[in-house]
Amino acid sequence: MKKLLLFMIVCLTLSITLYGCSGGNSKDESGEETVTTEEEVESEEESEDEFDSEAIAKQIKITKLGSFTRDYSNELDRGYAAIAKNESDKAISLSATFVMKDSEGKPVGSVESEQMNVPAGASTLLFGCDEMGKYKTVEIELDVSEPQYEVLSDKLETESTLRSDQVIVQMKNTSDKDVEYACAVCAFLRGDKVVDCGEVYCTNDDSILPAGKTKTGTYDWINEEKVDKVKVFADGRGTEFIEE
């Protein structure tokens, strides 16, 4: 009887020891036990999923296309364009300021641009046009934020036809959701030189491209320079505001 009682005590002691080792207890470098709670684990997971705008901004790759000129009734406006690739794993809203500087590094003008619906891994076109003086260099200041609407740009398929003075864009919404403000952002090139930039909206009268539907839009450029190539970037968002 004593042997049986002793055996039961030993088994109970081993069970308690094993349970303590398999729990959330651990020892730090000082040898003291620490306990990791479920709340701490959830907090760590949330921090890993946070939208870090500064870190994401460092993952934006910029390719400068250069300047272009528009002639409105003999009033010249100068513009600037660049392609931005979002190399992060987050969809973003992207704003840019092109700061023009003279040979001494002093600002002589600036233009702003924004694209609010850039999917993870996708590229978009940034461009702006305004009256600017002569400049030597251009610096690009970026601002990244979390989108306020669902980003659906990657659900838009485009086909473009280039004519002598215009581009015709056919856009299809491949998703099962309506896309608001669906448009093709275009850079018009002659060789490697940017000639003009513009946006072609492909929506109905309510600014919507319905789910599964296709719409066509056109853009006419007024510059006299010939265009032999067009780069097209789709942009569009969901119809419902994302609540925090």
With cut-offs at 50, 70 and 90, classify the pLDDT of residue 22.
very low
Q: Supply the DSSP string of 158-209, one letter for each residue.
A: EEEEE-SSEEEEEEEE-SSS-EEEEEEEEEEEETTEEEEEEEEE---TTSEE
Q: φ and ψ at 155, to 5 degrees?
A: -95, 5
pLDDT of 172 reads: 98
Please give the Cα distance from 119 to 53 (Å, whole number). Answer: 15
SS3 72: strand
Span 139-156, average pLDDT: 97
Give 41 or 94, the one with higher predicted confidence. 94
| Exposure of 175 in the CB half-sphere (CA atoms within 13 A) | 19
Asked if 179 contacts 209 with a C-beta cutoff of 8 angstroms, the reply is yes
Q: How many helices (H) and strands (E) does the chain have?
A: 3, 16
Whole-number average pLDDT of the chain? 84
With cut-offs at 50, 70 and 90, classify the pLDDT of residue 21.
very low
Domain spans of the chain?
A: 53-239
Please give the Cα distance from 98 to 101 (Å, whole number). Answer: 10
Interval 75-87: pLDDT, tens:
667 889 999 999 9
Checking if the pLDDT of 37 tops 70, the result is no
Checking if the pLDDT of 58 tops 80, the result is yes
| Exposure of 231 in the CB half-sphere (CA atoms within 13 A) | 20
Highest mean pLDDT of the ranges 8-12, 24-28, 70-74, 172-176? 172-176
Give 27 or 242, the one with higher predicted confidence. 242
